[in-house]
Amino acid sequence: MSRKKKKSKAKIWIIIAVVVIVGGLVTANFMTKRGPKAIDVDVAEAMTDSLAQTVTASGKVQPKTEVNISSNVSGRILFLGGEEGDHVDKGDMLVRIEDEEYHADVEQMEYLLRSYEASLEENQSKLKRVRELAEASLASQADLETATAAVKRLQADVERTRAQLEQSRDRFDKTRIYAPLDGIITRLSKEVGEMAIGSQFSQDIIMVVSRLDSMEVEVEVNENDVVLVDIGDDVDVEVFAMPDTTFKGHVTEIAHSGTVSGSGTAEEVTNFMVTVAIDDFVQTLRPGMSATVDIVTERRPNAVVLPQEAVAVRLLSDEERFAKQAREAEIGGNRGRDGEENNGEKRQMQRLGDREEPVEVVFVVRDDTVWAQQVTLGIYSDTHFEIVSGLQEGDLVVTGPFRILSRELHSGTVVDFTPPFKPDGDGEGDMQAEPGEGQGEVELAEDGEDEASNIEEVETADASAS
């Protein structure tokens, strides 16, 4: 009995050992079939859409036509033709300055001119008599020359006095300032009784008259962006005081010389002034309001577009190497085989990469694997790139996460993702979701076949041992 018990125990231990060995082999085979662990990624579908490239800048709202009213003569202000916000018509008197002194200068010049004109008339009569006497040899040539010189001198005095009179009248007229255009008094800097300082070289502004029916925004555009802007480009204008409203405009002026700020420092910046005319008439707009403009520099009505986060930068030699390794593993090659040879190849690729320029690529998803595809970029918006070449509408592309897309993702990487949803209701969204479901069913089927194979192998081992 003891022998039978010993044989029975030995048979049990043999069966257990066989089961463990077979289970290990099956598990290893199963893991080999499963391949590397899939990486969870986000995907998007390349689609055809309209795309606009914009340049954004900030500035201040100002009237297109604005006139500073100042005086060319000095004096106390006696009259102002309106208050700030008042409407004035062209020709209305805006300012009157005390004019007694200027009026006295005019009268003085008028009296002096009449005196010189009387003297000139007297000397012209004298010259006529001297000329007649000289012709009769009753007056000397010296007397004739003296009379002629006196007349010419008085003629010059008359002309000079007339010019001085015109100058005095001009100064007197400038004590009255009239509106040069129809508009609104947008700023009043002086009050009645204050002194107006007249100068030819600097302005002592009394008031500002503006036309508020035609407004514009003057913005500073960076030197890197101004080359994209052209006269006539469409503009969307947002005024901070009106956050829910967008006004239409267009570019009217681009400065030919830049303004430099922070010169000689690390923060040195060169900007160019760009003027944007607001096409809409907005009665509530006021000069000095802050605004942001989006200048539309380029439009593509039917462009293949992708989110900006889908574009990465890679060396093509690296991606070709990863793609080769993935294909070798797919057809039965051992990715871990000849590790030293692969490391040497990698070092060689890195040396080649030192002379190679990185290019823009996207990772296209085919089945459950991604492959790097070089693309040519066109215009861009705040969120999307135009894909000029390298991609077609409908291609599925990885868009994130950023950490994985920027460093870890390479050609041949196995990924797991949720297909993008299509809300257009034409059935394509359902069709897009079916491949993911089918892939899941295939994996379950393969798992079921592996488990059935394991059971059959264990049963065979038990039969052999018995």
d(CA 80, CA 203): 18
Look at residue 454 and tell me whether its pLDDT is greater than 50.
no
431 and 309 in one domain? yes
Residue 112 lies in a domain: yes
46 and 27 in one domain? no
Residue 86 lies in a domain: no
**Residue 144's CATH number:** 1.10.287.470
Q: What is the 8-class DSSP label of residue 38? A: P
| Alpha carbon distances (Å) from 439 to 329, 364, 367, 416, 419 | 20, 18, 9, 11, 12
Residue 279 lies in a domain: no
316 and 432 in one domain? yes
Residue 209 lies in a domain: no
Quote the pLDDT of residue 339. 42
Last residue within a domain, chosen from 174, 190, 220 = 174
d(CA 238, CA 241): 9
d(CA 314, CA 371): 12
Q: Do 31 and 37 contact (CB within 8 A), yes or no? A: no
Q: Which of 22-31, 283-292, 327-336, 435-444 has the lowest mean pLDDT?
A: 435-444
Give 252's pLDDT tier (boundaries 50, 70, 90): very high
Q: Do 144 and 130 contact (CB within 8 A), yes or no? A: yes
314 and 431 in one domain? yes
Residue 108 lies in a domain: yes
Residue 358 lies in a domain: yes
Tell me the average pLDDT across 220-237: 94
Last residue within a domain, chosen from 174, 208, 239 = 174
457 and 425 in one domain? no
Q: Which domain holds residue 361?
A: 39-50+304-439
Joined tokens for residue 254: 């681009």
Residue 235 lies in a domain: no
Q: Which of 15-29, 44-58, 289-303, 378-392 has the lowest mean pLDDT?
A: 15-29
405 and 311 in one domain? yes
**Residue 43's CATH number:** 2.40.420.20
Quote the pLDDT of residue 408. 82
**At 44, phi and psi to the nearest 5?**
-145, 160
pTM of the model: 0.62
Look at residue 31 and tell me whether its pLDDT is greater than 60.
no
In sequence order, what are the beta bridge partners of 393? none
Look at residue 238 and tell me whether its pLDDT is greater than 90.
yes
Mean pLDDT over each residue of the chain, to the nearest integer: 80
Query: What's the N-to-C CA distance of the chain in angstroms?
Result: 19
435 and 308 in one domain? yes
169 and 127 in one domain? yes
Quote the number of domains for the chain: 3
Tell me the average pLDDT across 14-25: 67
461 and 407 in one domain? no
343 and 453 in one domain? no
429 and 310 in one domain? yes
Tell me the average pLDDT across 285-309: 91
- Percent of the chain's residues with pLDDT above 70: 78
458 and 407 in one domain? no
HSE-CB at 132 with a 13 A cutoff on CA atoms is: 5
Last residue within a domain, chosen from 147, 174, 201 = 174
Residue 219 lies in a domain: no
Give 8's pLDDT tier (boundaries 50, 70, 90): low
Task: Kindly report, residue by residue over 90-127, the tens digit of the pLDDT.
Answer: 999 999 999 999 999 999 999 999 999 999 999 999 98
Tell me the average pLDDT across 152-167: 94
Helices (H) and strands (E) in the chain, counts: 8, 22
Residues 6+ apart with CB under 8 A from 388: 375, 376, 377, 378
Quote the pLDDT of residue 266. 83
Q: Which of 60-64, 111-115, 339-343, 370-374 has the lowest mean pLDDT?
A: 339-343
More confident residue, 344 or 204: 204
Q: Which of 81-95, 237-251, 320-334 has the lowest mean pLDDT?
A: 320-334
